[in-house]
């Protein structure tokens, strides 16, 4: 018998796929919520039913995510009831968010709708875990004039570009925005008399290798997109010319550490009704990243771009907000005693990107 039954949203994403991988290693039964049947098929190939019988799937299309009750079918407890729900889907700026307060309200409403569905549909859930980052807020601050692709619900090019990023302002305002959402969720928990406890984990920005083999640069998420533009393997394409993640957030978390913390929040009873900050520390600027990668991967040669795709950033005038660098709860309760270093994150990620380039070059040779 599996030790737990978990519903995991965003299972195909960078964060969600790492969480899924770690959950399955703990003999946890998982229903993976994905955005399409095609995504489910990819995961079925990665985790065949013959060797991973504790995994099943539910599909919630991206266009439906903001609709109240979108997850109701996925939360159906057949054949076994869920005891834990992990939510890794975060809002992205859209043309409807014409000011920061509206964007905060939209994110809050989306999360409360999700919690309401859990309360009404999955009556035996005793813990809900929300894993997120500050980058959605930072994106709105740095690049508010965004458009959404109506076919896929994804963010496309922006009509404006920020001349300079004030990193201190972006971090402080993103943290304050996250606090507003957090306070609203706890008010809902109290007012609704929810039967489950709530755990939140927040990373400043998310970097690190994907759990699956990269197929093209469109698979890149989070801060990884910035690294691609710095190395441009093979002189390849530059990702969109808008400001790239992490949008002025100078602190980072390796996705593997964030996934570990999320899974520990499932397993550790003392994590209930806690708020955790998961941060490994500062991520250096583009020029420092470029210098490190040039030394680590000599084959990159002179292709490295020190700051392509990112406007200049105003340095921090002092230290980051104390509450953001205070990660002691993650250490003492979740057991996250060691974070991956910047060098390890960048090395593993770049190695994966170079492997993608080599496969593309090989296919080009074969085709010719």
Section 64-93 average pLDDT: 90
Place 19 in a pLDDT band, splitting at 50, 70 and 90. very high
Cis preceding-peptide flag for 219 (omega within 30 of 0): no
The pLDDT, as a whole number, for residue 218 is 85
Rounded Cα distance between 249 and 35, Å, is 28
pLDDT at 66: 84
- Name which residue leads in pLDDT, 271 or 366: 271
Reduce the secondary structure of the chain to three states and give it as a string.
CCCCEEEECCCCCHHHHHHHHHHHHCCCEEEEEECCHHHHHHHHHHCCCCCCCCEEEEECCHHHCCCCCCCCCCCCCCCCCCCEEEECCCCCCCCCCCCHHHHHHHHHHHHHHHHHHHHHHCCCCCEEEEEEECHHHHHHHHCCCCEECCCCCCEECCCCCCCCEEHHHHHHHHHHHHHHHHHHHHHHHHHHCCCCEEEEEEECCEECCCCCCCCCHHHCCCCHHHHHHHHCHHHCCCCCCCCCCCCCCCEEEEHHHHHHHHHHHHHCHHHCCCEEECCCEECCCHHHHHHHHHHHCHHHCCCCCCCCCCCCEECCCCCCCHHHHCCHHHHHCCCCCCCCCHHHHHHHHHHHHHHHHHHHHHHHHHHC
How does residue 237 score in pLDDT terms, banded at 50, 70 and 90? low
In the structure, what pLDDT confidence band is assigned to residue 361 with cuts at 50, 70 and 90?
A: confident
Higher pLDDT, 179 or 142: 179
Mean pLDDT over 33-54 rounds to 96
Mean pLDDT of 317-340: 80
Q: Would you say residue 310 has pLDDT above 60?
A: no
Say what percent of the chain tops pLDDT 70.
80
pLDDT band at 124 (very low <50, low <70, confident <90, very high): very high
Mean pLDDT across the chain: 86
Predicted confidence (pLDDT) at residue 209 exceeds the cutoff of 90 = yes
Give the model's pLDDT for residue 265.
Answer: 98
| Contacts with 211 (C-beta within 8 Å, 6 or more apart), sequence order | 17, 18, 20, 21
Does the pLDDT value for residue 161 go beyond 50? no
Average of per-residue pLDDT across 229-238: 65
Q: What is the mean pLDDT of residues 237-245?
A: 53
Report yes or no: 260 and 245 within 8 Å, Cβ to Cβ.
no
Q: Record the tokens describing residue 221, joined without a space.
A: 């998420």
Question: Between these two residues, 189 and 362, which has the higher pLDDT value?
Answer: 189
**pLDDT for 241 beyond 90:** no
**pLDDT (0 to 100) of residue 326:** 79
CATH class of the 5-210+251-280+321-342 domain in this structure: alpha beta
Q: What is the pTM of this model?
A: 0.89
Phi, psi of 61 (to 5 degrees): -60, 145
């Amino acid at each position: 018998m599996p030790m737990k039954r978990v519903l995991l949203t965003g299972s195909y994403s960078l964060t969600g796929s790492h969480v899924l991988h770690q959950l399955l290693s703990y003999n946890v039964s998982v229903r993976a919520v994905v955005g399409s049947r095609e995504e489910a098929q990819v995961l079925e190939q990665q985790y065949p039913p013959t060797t991973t019988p504790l995994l099943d799937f539910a599909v919630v299309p991206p266009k439906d995510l903001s609709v109240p009750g979108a997850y109701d079918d996925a939360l159906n407890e057949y054949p076994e009831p869920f005891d834990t729900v992990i939510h890794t889907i975060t809002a992205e700026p859209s043309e409807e968010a014409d000011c920061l307060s509206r964007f905060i309200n939209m994110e809050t409403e989306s999360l409360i709708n999700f919690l309401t569905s859990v309360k009404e549909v999955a009556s035996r859930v005793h813990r809900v875990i929300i894993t997120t980052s500050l980058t959605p807020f930072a994106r709105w601050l740095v690049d508010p004039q965004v458009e959404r692709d109506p076919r896929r619900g994804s963010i496309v090019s922006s009509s404006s570009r920020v001349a300079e990023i004030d990193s201190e302002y972006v971090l402080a305002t993103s943290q304050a925005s996250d606090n507003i959402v957090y306070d609203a969720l706890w008010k809902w928990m109290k007012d609704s008399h929810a039967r489950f406890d709530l755990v939140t984990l927040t990373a400043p920005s998310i970097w690190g290798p994907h759990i699956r083999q990269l197929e093209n640069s469109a698979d890149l998420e989070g801060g990884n997109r910035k690294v691609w533009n710095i190395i441009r393997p093979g002189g390849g394409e530059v990702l969109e010319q808008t400001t790239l993640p992490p949008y002025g957030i100078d602190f980072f978390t390796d996705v593997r550490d964030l996934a570990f913390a999320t899974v520990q929040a499932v397993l550790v009873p003392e994590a209930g009704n806690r708020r955790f900050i998961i941060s490994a520390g500062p991520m250096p600027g583009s020029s420092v990243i470029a210098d490190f990668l040039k030394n680590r991967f000599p084959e990159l040669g002179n292709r490295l771009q020190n700051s392509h795709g990112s406007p200049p950033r105003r340095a921090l005038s002092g230290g980051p907000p104390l509450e953001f660098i205070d990660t002691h709860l993650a250490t003492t309760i979740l057991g996250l005693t060691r974070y991956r270093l910047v060098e390890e994150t960048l090395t593993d990620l770049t190695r994966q990107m170079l492997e993608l380039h080599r496969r593309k070059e090989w296919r080009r040779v074969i085709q010719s």
